[in-house]
Amino acid sequence: MAVLSFVLILLLIAADQLIKYLCILKLQPVGSVEVIPGFLKLTYVENRGAALGILQNQRIFFIIITIVFCFVLLYLLYYYRRHDFFSRFACIVIIAGGIGNLVDRIRLHYVIDYISFSFYSPVFNFADICVVAGVIAALIHILFTSRERKKEAVPEISGLQTQEQPEKNGASDSGGEDPQEEKAPEPEKGDRNEQNASDHGTGE
């Protein structure tokens, strides 16, 4: 599974870089192409900020943050023990999207964006879609699937405890002495002396 995850990350990064190369080759000379009139356009934009166009001209900051987050997510991808589909998917696509934009920042000093909707002003790219999809998947894992697993684990633990309790009680009842059976009290030292004296007297 680790090898497959690594291959998927590489494929997503390659797809992002290929699309951006085609944008430079075909879209940059014309600037914008309307795909669906009044709804979707492909517009060449050089973004010097973060995903979706926020925080402009912070190149070094975003390079450092992206590298740190990618290392953290790589660690979680290979060492997190409660992975499900959503958590693994989140790690893969966020890493791929982050590295895809990181390559642009290092190589070009800006990120190439090209997807533009009429109802949404920021222009974004395939790598941004990967990051957003990964964040949504991570939230689903945290808010729903991980909590369901915890709820399933609680009845199992309580069931084991209730099974162990009768076994302990049964062992104590069968192996130990009956608490109702009491030993006859032994006579005290003074009583034994009086008894011996009376025995000697009767013997004389």
Confirm whether 173 is a catalytic residue. Answer: no
Q: Which of 84, 104, 128, 199 is catalytic?
A: 128
Give strand pairing partners of 34.
41
Taking residue 63's Cβ as centre, other Cβ atoms within 10 Å add up to 14
Closest among 110, 100, 99 to 67, alpha carbons compared: 99
DSSP 8-class letter at 29: T
Residue type, 36: I
Asked whether the beta carbons of 157 and 123 are under 8 A apart, the reply is no
Catalytic residue among 113, 178, 191, 199: 113
Residue 87: name the closest of 142, 14, 42, 165 by CA.
142
Per the CB < 8 A criterion, the answer to whether 124 and 51 are in contact is yes
Positions marked active-site: 113, 128
